[in-house]
Amino acid sequence: MTAARRRALDPITFELVHAALLSAAEEMGGVLKRSSYSPIIRDMEDFSCAIFAADGDLVAQADYIPAQLGAMSLVVKSILTRWGSEIADGDVFMANHPFLGAMHTPDINIITPVFVGGRLFGWTGATAHHLDVGGVNPGTEGPALEQVYAEGLVLAPVRLYLAGRENRDVISILTENIRDPLSTISDLRAQRAACLLGSARLRETIERWGAPTVRTVFRQALDAAERAVRAALAELPDGEGEAEGFMDDDGRGGPPTRIHVRLSKRGDELAIDLSGCAPQVAGALNVPWASTRAGLVYAVRVLTDPHLSSNEGVLRPLHVVCPLGNVLNPRPPAAVSVRHNTCQRLADTIVRAAAEIWPEKAVGGSSVAFFGINVESVSPVTGHASVLSDVVGGGTGAHRGGDGIDGVDTYMSNVGLMPVEVAETNYSVRIERTELIAGSQGPGTFEGGMGIRRDYRVLDRPHRATFYGEQTIPEFRPRGVRGGGDAAPTNVLLFDPQGRPVPVPPKVSTTLEAGSLVRVETSGGGGYGPPEGRAPGLRDADRADARLP
């Protein structure tokens, strides 16, 4: 019997303690949502919370945004590398450096060490998308940006709190370099509150079960996730599959950017070769390794068991090839602020490659439009500077069990649509229309989900804005499978104050005149199976629900 086997806990104790850790991460999310200041966190839930072992390994994470699954642990490890023995009880670290474990600069990580008996025991962390962290464009993001230095403040791990006291020097730097300091500082404090709650729950768990038991649960949680992935892979047939997808351009109006995935499954291991992807690009569609890694965690859960715990153990059965300089593993100082559009295409491509090995997993392509809009504005209530940030989803692909889902953030995203009332009370922007687009879905025995049409009108003065979307080239629209039809592509439109169309690229940073209107029509999802096989009852429901064009 091995030493590890002798130290293993009985299953009941393990499940009780592990559930307590997962519950703590979920409770952290509740605190962050209810105490945050910005709509993108409070209403749209663009955040994640987690608990880590002393060495930085992720052991428990609440499922909010799949794009953030498994990414935060790299930030914790960068803190350990940079600060080492200087880490003290009561410190709170802040980091958003895309080449030191973070995803892109608007996603700020707040990480808190947890000491027990004077020794580092673990960490709690919360990452959240902030409305603005400075830089060239309001909202910080910009498809055409060429270097990370243009994407706002780049923060290697620094201490926001020193031994429990707020670091006023860092606060001063932040407030003088961002457009809406009230929102940003308030949200950072909300993240710290979530981490403090998580730390308290972790200490309560230690007090009840003992530090050795909780430390053993940390280890066994990773081992259990690894065993579950290996068992699920072992049940699937061996084989190889590959697929490619394309971004519309390189972020700067250049040629399409290729995403290529080759999968090879043998026994209980999965090889993922990303070396066929395009080299890093001139614009901001590059994906830092933390986000690519999160995409691999997402893919494993999709292909094996969506209910798997998203901890470090999920990655152990994987063998990944992704050379430095690849668009999914760029060299610094590449711009990365619009990396999530590429992540969505990566997820879509992995799913299609998997269907080459396991045909029963085939689904219609989903929208990867991920339309994003950032508008520098003024609050009509307070008169303070503000930045509107919204994300519009589309349709998911149909599958052998039924239709796709209408108007959701697909694949690795899970962000809610900004409520109209929230937009109009916080920004000088009116959302005049939000509706599902009849006929945008791919036809089939089972139909894809419908895309969304949304109109934004800027009021009273010129507004600086950035907006961007994908799948505007018909060739790259969501595809049907098994004889199903393709979905409609995305349209990004701009109208002047008189309602006349203005030629505009689908990714742009520009100044909008007062009265201008931005309209997005996102892609739907691809269909599954031949349309003539659709049941008469479903056809009748389509007509009744006005799903047909």
pLDDT at position 549: 86
SS (H, E, C) 367-412: CCCCEEEEEEEECCCCCCEEEEEEEECECCCCECCECCCCCECCCC
Is 328 a member of any domain? no
pLDDT of residue 308: 84
User: How do residues 173-193 score in pLDDT, each as one tens digit?
Assistant: 999 999 999 999 999 999 999
Q: Which residues of 33-61 are buried (b: 16+ CB within 10 A; e: fewer)?
A: bebbbbbbbbbbbbbbbbbbbbebbbbbb
Closest by Cα among 463, 397, 385 to 426: 385
Distance CA 73, CA 394 (A): 30
**Phi-psi label, residue 318: left if phi above 0, alpha if psi -120 to 50, beta otherwise:** beta
pLDDT at 8: 82
Q: Would you state the pLDDT for residue 429?
A: 97
Identify the domain boundary among 227, 256, 271: 227
Which has the closest alpha carbon to 60: 180, 161, 178, 202? 202
Is 137 domain-assigned? Answer: yes
Number of residues that make up the chain: 549
In a domain, 450, yes or no: yes
Side by side, which strands form the sheet with 371-378? 385-392, 371-378, 463-468, 507-512
Domain boundary among 192, 227, 262: 227
Last residue of a domain, one of 201, 227, 253: 227
Residue 240 in domain = no
- Cα gap 526→529, rounded to integer Å: 10
Could you say which DSSP state residue 438 is in?
A: T
| 89 touches 163 (CB < 8 A) | yes
Whether residue 268 is contained in a domain is answered as no
Taking every pair of Cα atoms in the chain, the longest distance, rounded to a whole number of angstroms, is 79
pLDDT the model gives residue 3: 47
Let me know if residue 531 belongs to a domain: yes
What the block records as the tokens of 298 is 């997402």
Q: Which domain holds residue 539?
A: 362-549
Q: Is residue 470 part of a domain?
A: yes
Please tell me the predicted confidence (pLDDT) of residue 310: 83
Evaluate whether 522 touches 369 at the Cβ level (below 8 Å). yes
**Residue with tokens 């973070």, as numbered in its chain:** 102
Cα dist. 122→30, 118, 133, 270 in Å? 21, 12, 28, 30
pLDDT at 306: 87
Residues 6 or more apart whose CB falls under 8 angstroms from that of 525 comprise 364, 365, 366, 367, 394, 395, 396, 397, 398, 404, 405, 410, 441, 442, 447, 448, 449, 478, 487
Considering the domain boundaries, does residue 262 fall inside one? no
C-alpha 31/C-alpha 415 separation (Å) is 18
Burial annotation 81-109 (CB, 10 A radius, 16+ → b, else e): eebeeebeeebbbbbbbbbbbbbbbbbbb
Residues 6+ apart with CB under 8 A from 71: 101, 102, 103, 127, 290, 291, 293, 294
Whole-structure pTM over 0.85, yes or no?
yes
> Which pLDDT tens digit goes with each residue over 410-441?
999 889 999 999 999 999 999 999 999 999 99
The residues of the chain scoring below 70 in pLDDT are: 1-7, 69
Q: What is the dihedral of CA 114, 115, 121, 126, to 10 degrees?
A: 10
HEC profile for 331-354? Answer: CCCECCCCHHHHHHHHHHHHHHHH
Into how many domains does the chain fold? 2
Helix (H) or strand (E) holding 257: strand 257-266
